[in-house]
Amino acid sequence: MNATPGGADPALWLPEPWRIERVRRELSDTFTLELQPTAGGAPLRFLPGQFNMLYAFGLGEVPISISGDPEADGPLVHTIRAVGPVTEAMRRLVPGDVLGVRGPFGSCWPVSGAEAEGCDLVIVAGGVGLAPLRPAILHVLRHRQRFGQVCIFYGARTPADILYRHELRRWRGQFDLLVDVTVDRATQDWAGRVGVVPRLVEGGGYDPQHTLALVCGPEIMMRHTARALLARGVRRERIHVSMERNMKCAVGLCGHCQFGPHFVCRDGPVFRFDVIEALMTVDGL
Amino acid sequence: MQRLSLAGLAVLLHVLWADRREIIGPRLRDGAITLGILHRLEDLPVGWSDTAQEAAQYRVVPRADSARFGHVTGPLSWKRWLFLPEEVLFRAVRDDQDGGFTLSATPTAPLRAFLGVRGCDLAAIAIQDRIFAHDPAYCARREATLIIAINCLEPGGTCFCASMETGPQARGAFDLRLTEWLDAGTPSYLVESGSAAGRKLLARLPIEACTPEDQARVEQALAQAATRMGRQLDTGGLAERLAARPGHRHWQQVAARCLSCANCTLVCPTCFCSTIEDRTDLSGTTAERVRRWDSCFDLEHSYIVGGNVRADPAARYRQWLLHKLAYWHTQFGTSGCTGCGRCITWCPVGIDLTVEAAAVAGSEA
Amino acid sequence: MDGERTRRIEVGTLARVEGEGALTLRVRGDRLLDVQLRIYEPPRFFEALLRGRDFREAPDISARICGICPIAYQLGAAQAMEDACGVQVGAGLRALRRLIYCGEWIESHALHVFLLHLPDFLGMPDAVALAEAGHRDTVQAALRIRKLGNALMRVIGGREIHPVNLKVGGFWRAPDAEALQALLPDIGQATDAMLRQLDQLTRLAFPDFTVDCEFLALRHDEEYAITEGRLVSSRGIDLPLEGYDGLLTETHVRHSTALQSQRSDGGTPVHVGPLARLHLNRDRLPPELARLAGQIGLEPGCRNPFKSILARVIEVLYALGEARRLIDEYRVPEAPAIDCPPRAGTGYGATEAPRGLCYHRYTLAADGVITDAKIVAPTSVNQRQIEADLHEYAASRLDQSDERLRHGCERLIRSYDPCISCSTHFLTLNIENG
Amino acid sequence: MNAARNTARNPSRPRLAVFKFASCDGCQLSLLDCEDELLAVCEAVEIAYFPEASSAMQPGPYDIVLVEGSITTAHDRERIRRVRRSARRLVTIGACATSGGIQALRNFRDVAEFAHLVYARPEYLDTLAESTPIAAHVPVDHELRGCPIDQRQLLALLDALLRGRRPSIPSAAVCTECKRAGQVCVTVAQGTPCLGPVTQAGCGALCPGFARGCYGCFGPKEAPNTDALAVKLGELGLDPPAVRRFWHTFNAGAGAFRRAGGG
Ligand SMILES: Cc1cc2nc3c(=O)[nH]c(=O)nc-3n(C[C@H](O)[C@H](O)[C@H](O)COP(=O)(O)OP(=O)(O)OC[C@H]3O[C@@H](n4cnc5c(N)ncnc54)[C@H](O)[C@@H]3O)c2cc1C
Ligand code: SF4
Ligand code: SF4
Ligand code: SF4
């Protein structure tokens, strides 16, 4: 009755229905959805690196990063890899189908802040980890003059697993970007690099002292990449990684995504490496 | 401070009932003083005590007097009426025409009064208020709840609220606060209000004046009670020391005894983990989302594609203890433990948070 | 073997019975060679695995003999143990036992009457077909009645299948009076639903078939026997339970697939179940129900096994009435159970399961360890009778087409509501083909 | 005619079959006991093979096969392979099918001796020395625990399979349901031995609700610490044979309980 908490959000749990406009098959198990709100209305404002909770009717809700251009008024874009029942069901969706959307949630890649101004940028992605970085890359391309060197290092399991292949090629063609792609296992038609991504950061003509690094991929890949970046002299607090933990509420009250003292949904998913470095070395945290 | 006779306590209950409030309070059931709806005055556990609690040991015993609140915290905490064990968050109906769906959420918030909230539990409610600050259903229920707190003069065997600075005096967001005072075995109640609603309520009760001596006696009894806690926890630097020792060998030693049964988390009045289940009816046209109490001791709790983060039960115990006593400070600016002692009493194998925390905090490796 | 053709009529999997069984008739010319009710339910050795267990475990373990009538096993075992220990529960606990048993009768009988047996009379494969063929009301009535029966089991026992609340000495916890009273409206509705179905059930066509059998059932001084009584038969038997082992022998005969019960003296079969109960205890029914039995076609002395469906209907109505009475009179007992300290000795227990008399005998060591167990399920007793009936039925209908004869035999088997899973004694033969 | 009946309404309904092995029939009865939902289930799936309920027995393949009972005969060992081949998804239901059931107690004894105790002519028995769960013979897609299974879990599982959702079958302890239900722990408050802390949830913590200890009919939970609980059971006054018997009932064949009981 007294001192009751304020600020209850009546829509906290309610996904809003968004309609699928386009489906793009990216890879055998990965696809991109473009969505518009069924009720019409404004596009979703978000920051690069943030995510939404996507709800498939009656099936479940999953956290998925936003992969579109944060500054374009286009559709809401999500790139999803089908790995389990909910994402599998999403793979079967066709234009016209409806998904529930809650969001956006979480922290962002610090590409628009002062700390990025004038820096070299090293963007490192593994597998579907390129999807959460895409908005950051699009932002950088839009404001290219604000940054120094920009390197994009990308690793996939096999050549067939390379996400956003055409876009990567386009970026690679741009004179002011360094785009380097590697695969774990080559196939016959692959003439590019073979090896793990962390090796790529050893190259590239960026200036470690003035570099901001954004890393997204499997946890072990991020650990190794960070180590390689540190070895080159990139400062701890200028490396950012995006964490994954089980998520149910996305607003810091279900407890699932705790990572040490952090809620990945609220304090993350993007963390400064120095903040979580110690935690990342603990098994089972 | 004023005084309410035993008859006055009855009036209090009747006034609340007249206001159509459901009164949740202590009741004797299944050999324990649990919390439940009070339908009549006699539902209160007259002359029963449960203060002799120990790790994995709880018994109710008759008292020599007719105290109504001569017990401490039992197996249930108030959270089950604010953060429900299971709750439907929304229902959704599929629209036949366009493949979309319509969602609706109708949180219910019955008018209630909590009667007999102790210091530790009052602190726990304050903590959950912060956690669920944006949760509509929680806030609605909280809004509709009147809190009548009670001071503890007889702490229990697993209590350590004094260490956690949450008791034995009930402090914080109460509407009324009672102190049960026994004169020759007959109780009367010293009463204070803590809010406008409390003051209004008080005005409707047959209160009597109380003397400065009465007041002094209560203060003295409370100070006394603080020295009689069954457990204690040295909180100085505790959070830092625990957080710094995720690799301590003691975690494995606890895991050898721990059943990962989750009882500790579920009886804890501040634990807030929940899980979500989305489901449909057999025809697939209506869906609902259910939230229910979950626990970090559950393997599924840490599931992500490719594996469970905390597969090892030792990691789960560590998560519980570190969250409670260390990470909580970072997350919510307070300890997650209020010293109510429930997790100690209700752990079937008697694992004692105060002992385990001290073991980890007390040595380096 | 040579010359004349052998006609084989087979039912590979008996449907709408509990458990797995099959039927074979062999006919040569106008001679019925044999009838075999084959049971391929694998043996589960309950009596053996009860040995060495504590006597207090028997109710829960023996319940697992059958998911359809667990009370018959839980209660039979509990009573046998109390007998062995020389204690007796008081009237309140006894009434509560009778009440939960009413629940089992209601759900089991309603299952059989409507969902398993009735489709036979209407030429349907199952209840879903009934519902679709315009009998949705009937199916819904069945579900409503079963639901009430199951609710009784759930409120008292915790769940309808293998309830957790029964134990040697009584119950773990006595149900609240309010929880039971809350069922009264449902009892009323279930009763109405049952009564509304009477018309249709009375109009069913029953084959003209009567067997001169010996009915065996429990009989109680005051009540229609459910949880206890003496052994009585239509041929003059009247014995205490201890007389069971002398009365019936179980033999392991070559042509049969099961241990068969038969009279120790004459080797003749006996018939247990609702028809037997009604035959022997008609005078213990409330007069209006006894009258109703006659009105719906169950004249006293009825020996037509096909009419067992009507006997079940009467028993459902009886159990509904009993349930109401018992709930009205219910007072929460002082203690949910009596003490039952073990002692060396043998104890007997028998109850009337929905399918008929179910007998238990246990021997205990002084510390309560079970040293010997014998459990006889009603279907095991009836098996001999069923084969005899089949023989008589088929022998006089050999002129019928295979299909018709097969169907008739199946119906006849189903009229016993055989519960093959209750097959502590049933076993699998290595079936010779050819 | 029956086939026509079943397919006329909705030819695309998934086909459900129910097979029985050594068991008491209770688990499949759970389906018939869903009085309120039974007709809806029949709308949602085509019941293609369910001898306990219907004489219309249609051949496979089936989309969902529920298997009750354990494997105890050579004949059944073959039959379960055929059943598996006919099943797109195979779900084992109940303690018999998931761990061998009460009849797995034979696994610790001499079956020949058992047979002699019960049968006059044991040479006619076709029986294996052990009662084994279905998963010991063929791959299983999902399992529902319990002796018997819980109806709500069964319906939720069917619903999940029909929708393509991950069935939500908890792996946590019975204690979690006991606490959610607001029941009082029988071990702590009454000193009653209870297997709840190591038994998989699903029943709704039935037994503690009736003031008795859980006897483990849902089998071991994930990572069951049976050693630690055994110590507790001893403290509560159970002597070693009683502790062994406690582990060895309806899920005596399940690894953790088997070992805990010394089997
Ligand atoms: C912040 C964040 C951003 C993500 N962005 C993307 C993305 O852009 N594209 C993409 O393909 N995937 C992304 N993922 C991973 C994606 O959430 C999981 O692959 C997805 O939840 C799997 O769900 P499922 O039901 O199909 O699989 P299941 O294996 O059935 O998972 C069951 C449930 O567990 C939870 N869960 C399982 N894995 C994860 C996980 N990795 N993270 C969080 N919860 C999980 C979910 O609640 C899920 O419904 C992201 C995860 C996080 C935490
Ligand atoms: S951690 Fe234990 S003592 Fe602390 S508030 Fe929770 S249950 Fe009470
Ligand atoms: S600490 Fe105790 S209550 Fe908590 S999970 Fe372990 S055994 Fe269970
Ligand atoms: S509490 Fe245990 S024994 Fe009782 S029903 Fe549940 S799982 Fe089975």
Q: Which of D155, D158, B281, D34 is nearest to C143 (CA)?
A: D34
B29 touches D at CB < 8 Å: yes
Tokens of C313: 């209907």
| Domains contained in chain A, number | 2
Q: Please state whether the peptide bond connecting residue D148 to the residue before it is cis, i.e. omega within 30 degrees of 0.
A: yes
Tell me which of B72, B270, B347 to substitute to probe ligand 2's pocket, judged by most ligand atoms within 8 Å of the beta carbon.
Answer: B270
| Domains contained in chain B, number | 2
Instruction: Examine residue B137 and state whether it is found in any structural domain, yes or no.
Output: yes
For the stretch B287-316, pLDDT in tens is 999 999 999 999 999 999 888 999 999 999
CA atoms of A130 and B126, how far apart (whole Å): 42
A83 touches B at CB < 8 Å: yes
Q: Are residues B243 and B306 in the same domain?
A: yes
Q: Are residues B346 and B250 in the same domain?
A: yes
In the sheet that B208-209 helps form, which strands lie side by side, from edge to edge? B32-37, B22-29, B112-117, B145-150, B176-183, B186-193, B2-4, B208-209
DSSP C135: I
Residues 6+ apart with CB under 8 A from B297: B260, B261, B262, B264, B265, B313, B316, B317, B320, D172
CA atoms of A13 and B106, how far apart (whole Å): 12
Residue D165 has pLDDT above 50, yes or no: yes
For the stretch A259-282, pLDDT in tens is 999 999 999 999 999 999 999 989
Q: Are residues B257 and B320 in the same domain?
A: yes
How many Å lie between the centroid of ligand 1 and the Cα of residue A45?
22
Q: What local confidence, expressed as pLDDT, does residue D92 receive?
A: 98
List C-alpha distances in Å: C19 to C255, C418, C422.
21, 8, 8
Instruction: Examine residue B324 and state whether it is found in any structural domain, yes or no.
Output: yes
Q: Which of A9, A245, A260 sits opposite B327 (nearest CB)?
A: A260
Q: Are residues A67 and A187 in the same domain?
A: no
Q: Are residues A179 and A276 in the same domain?
A: yes
For the stretch B311-365, pLDDT in tens is 999 999 999 999 999 999 999 999 999 999 999 999 999 999 999 999 999 988 7
Q: What local confidence, expressed as pLDDT, does residue A3 receive?
A: 37
Could you tell me where the beta strands, DSSP code E, fall in C205-280?
216-219, 230-233, 238-239, 248-251, 260-263
Whether A2 and B247 lie within 8 Å, measured CB to CB: no
Residue B182 has pLDDT above 60, yes or no: yes
Instruction: Say which ligand is closest to the CA of A245.
Output: 1
- CATH code of the domain in which A15 resides: 2.40.30.10
Tokens of C167: 């134990």
Tokens of A112: 């628009």
Whether A256 and B98 lie within 8 Å, measured CB to CB: no
CA atoms of A242 and A240, how far apart (whole Å): 7
Task: Report the pLDDT averaged over residues A116-130.
Answer: 93
pTM of the model: 0.94
Q: What local confidence, expressed as pLDDT, does residue D1 receive?
A: 34
Helix axes A130-142, A165-173, angle to 10 degrees: 30
Q: Are residues A213 and A84 in the same domain?
A: no
Tokens of D206: 């039935």
Whether D189 and B58 lie within 8 Å, measured CB to CB: yes
Q: Are residues B351 and B259 in the same domain?
A: yes
8 A C-beta contact, residue B214 and residue B3? yes
Instruction: Examine residue A5 and state whether it is found in any structural domain, yes or no.
Output: no
Instruction: Examine residue A1 and state whether it is found in any structural domain, yes or no.
Output: no
Q: What local confidence, expressed as pLDDT, does residue B1 receive?
A: 86
Instruction: Examine residue A3 and state whether it is found in any structural domain, yes or no.
Output: no
- List the chains bordering chain D where 3 or more Cβ pairs fall under 8 Å: A, B, C
Tokens of C63: 């319940």
Residue B229 CB–ligand 2 contact under 6 Å: no
CA atoms of A209 and A235, how far apart (whole Å): 7
Task: Report the pLDDT averaged over residues A207-227.
Answer: 94
CA atoms of A151 and A139, how far apart (whole Å): 14
A284 touches B at CB < 8 Å: yes
Q: Are residues B20 and B154 in the same domain?
A: yes
Instruction: Examine residue B94 and state whether it is found in any structural domain, yes or no.
Output: no
Could you list the residue range(s) of the whole structural domain that residue A71 is in?
A: 10-105
For chain A, give the percent of residues with pLDDT over 70: 98
Q: Are residues A143 and A235 in the same domain?
A: yes
CA atoms of C10 and C14, how far apart (whole Å): 10
Q: What local confidence, expressed as pLDDT, does residue B175 receive?
A: 98
Q: Are residues B150 and B246 in the same domain?
A: no
ipTM of the assembly?
0.93
Q: What local confidence, expressed as pLDDT, does residue D5 receive?
A: 39
Q: Are residues B320 and B356 in the same domain?
A: yes
Instruction: Examine residue A205 and state whether it is found in any structural domain, yes or no.
Output: yes
Could you list the residue range(s) of the whole structural domain that residue B129 is in?
A: 2-84+108-226
C-alpha neighbours within 13 Å on the C-beta side of residue C213: 31
Instruction: Count the Cβ atoms, other than its own, within 10 Å of residue C377.
Output: 32
Question: Which residues in chain B have their CB less than 8 angstroms from residue D164's CB?
Answer: none
Residue type at position C224: Y
CA atoms of D172 and D154, how far apart (whole Å): 18
Residue ranges in D47-145 assigned as alpha helix (H): 74-85, 94-99, 111-118
Q: What local confidence, expressed as pLDDT, does residue A4 receive?
A: 41
CA atoms of D150 and D173, how far apart (whole Å): 15
Instruction: Examine residue A115 and state whether it is found in any structural domain, yes or no.
Output: no
Whether C54 and D242 lie within 8 Å, measured CB to CB: yes
Tokens of A222: 């991020």
Question: Which residues in chain B have their CB less than 8 angstroms from residue D229's CB?
Answer: 259, 348-349
How many Å lie between the centroid of ligand 3 and the Cα of residue B351?
7
CA atoms of B161 and B337, how far apart (whole Å): 9
Beta-ladder partners of C337: C170
Q: Where are the domains of chain D?
A: 3-162, 174-260
Q: Are residues A64 and A94 in the same domain?
A: yes
How many Å lie between the centroid of ligand 2 and the Cα of residue B266?
10
8 A C-beta contact, residue D97 and residue D145? no
**Mean pLDDT in consecutive groups of 10 residues from the start of chain C, 434 residues:** 69 76 82 79 80 96 93 97 97 97 97 92 88 91 96 97 97 97 97 94 91 95 96 96 92 60 89 96 96 93 94 97 98 96 97 96 96 91 90 89 87 86 41 26
Q: Are residues A124 and A263 in the same domain?
A: yes
Instruction: Say which ligand is closest to the CA of C157.
Output: 4
Average pLDDT taken over every residue of chain A: 92
Q: CA B87 from chain center: how many Å?
A: 18
List C-alpha distances in Å: C131 to A83, C118, D16.
42, 12, 19
For the stretch D119-133, pLDDT in tens is 666 665 667 788 999
Q: Three-state SS for C39?
A: strand
Instruction: Examine residue B287 and state whether it is found in any structural domain, yes or no.
Output: no
For the stretch B145-175, pLDDT in tens is 999 999 999 999 999 999 999 989 999 999 9
Q: Three-state SS for C142?
A: helix
Instruction: Examine residue B120 and state whether it is found in any structural domain, yes or no.
Output: yes
8 A C-beta contact, residue A248 and residue B292? no
Q: Are residues A258 and A201 in the same domain?
A: yes
* pLDDT class of A1 with cuts at 50, 70, 90: very low
How many Å lie between the centroid of ligand 2 and the Cα of residue B153?
19
Question: Which residues in chain A have their CB less than 8 angstroms from residue B131's CB?
Answer: 252-253
> Residues B128, B131, B135, B137: what is their CA dihedral angle, to the nearest 10 degrees?
-10
Q: Are residues A161 and A237 in the same domain?
A: yes
Q: Which of A9, A57, A96 sits opposite B101 (nearest CB)?
A: A57
CATH 3.40.50.700 describes domain D3-162: yes
Average pLDDT taken over every residue of chain B: 95
Element (H, E) at C371: strand C370-376
